[in-house]
Amino acid sequence: MLDLHILHCIKNGLKYYKDNENDFKGLFNDIGSTLQTNYYNRLVAIFDTIQIDAAFTRETKQFPLISISLNEAELDTTSFLGNIGAPGYQTLTELNNQECKIEIYANEMIDIRLLHRIIRGILLLFKKSFLDIGYSDVRYIQSKDLKPIEIPTGAGGIVYNRELSYTAQSQLIVKKSTNPFDDLPWTINPTIL
């Protein structure tokens, strides 16, 4: 679910920074005020055209585009089966490592630079929200270098791309009533209603 949570976070964060110019400029405290204003004006100009979606939907025909993909794996030494539970429930717990790749695509290099910094700021701004819904941590891993790629677009030309990587750990918890009449046997061809 990390990809869905990040997608939601980015949508809200972009609006937050568009509506709060001073906080936006605080993200760019390492550049001059004229360039900060130029970057803010650029965000306002492209805000309604920014597409945000899960990866591989192949529906976007305009840029900038932010897409998010998810890889998930169990943490090797942390699987617990049936070792905890509340009265009346059997609980199965698994700790997961989730990795999201956030891809930024844009026709203009300035948009890549702008969105890259904003996304990093957004995930810091809303980090407590991730922790509040059960993630044990959310970590920025790296960004890959800006690269031009050829994507068939209506207008032709080059599209620029940059990838950011984040990881988060979370628990998958399955609760099942321990009522003996509520048994869930595994069958080869179950009937699904």
Report the pLDDT value the prediction gives residue 142, as an integer from 0 to 100.
93
Q: pLDDT higher for 180 or 188?
A: 188
pLDDT at residue 182 above 60? no
Query: Which candidate, 2, 192, 12, 22, places its Cα nearest to that of 119?
Result: 12
Minimum mean pLDDT range among 14-18, 30-34, 159-163, 183-187: 183-187
Q: pLDDT of 19-50, one tens digit each?
A: 999 999 999 999 999 999 999 999 999 999 99
User: Mean of the pLDDT values across residues 86-90?
Assistant: 55
- Number of structural domains found in the chain: 1
Whether 102 maps to a domain, the answer reads yes
Report the pLDDT value the prediction gives residue 82, as an integer from 0 to 100.
45
User: Mean of the pLDDT values across residues 3-21?
Assistant: 94
pLDDT at residue 144 above 60? yes
Whether 47 maps to a domain, the answer reads yes
Whether 155 maps to a domain, the answer reads yes
CA angle (115 as vertex; 109, 116 as ends), nearest 5: 90
Q: pLDDT of 148-167, one tens digit each?
A: 876 655 555 788 999 999 99
Whether 185 maps to a domain, the answer reads no
pLDDT at residue 192 above 80? no
Burial of 30-53, coded b for 16+ CB within 10 Å and e otherwise, reads: eeeeeebeebbebbeebeeebebe
Range of the domain at 126: 2-178
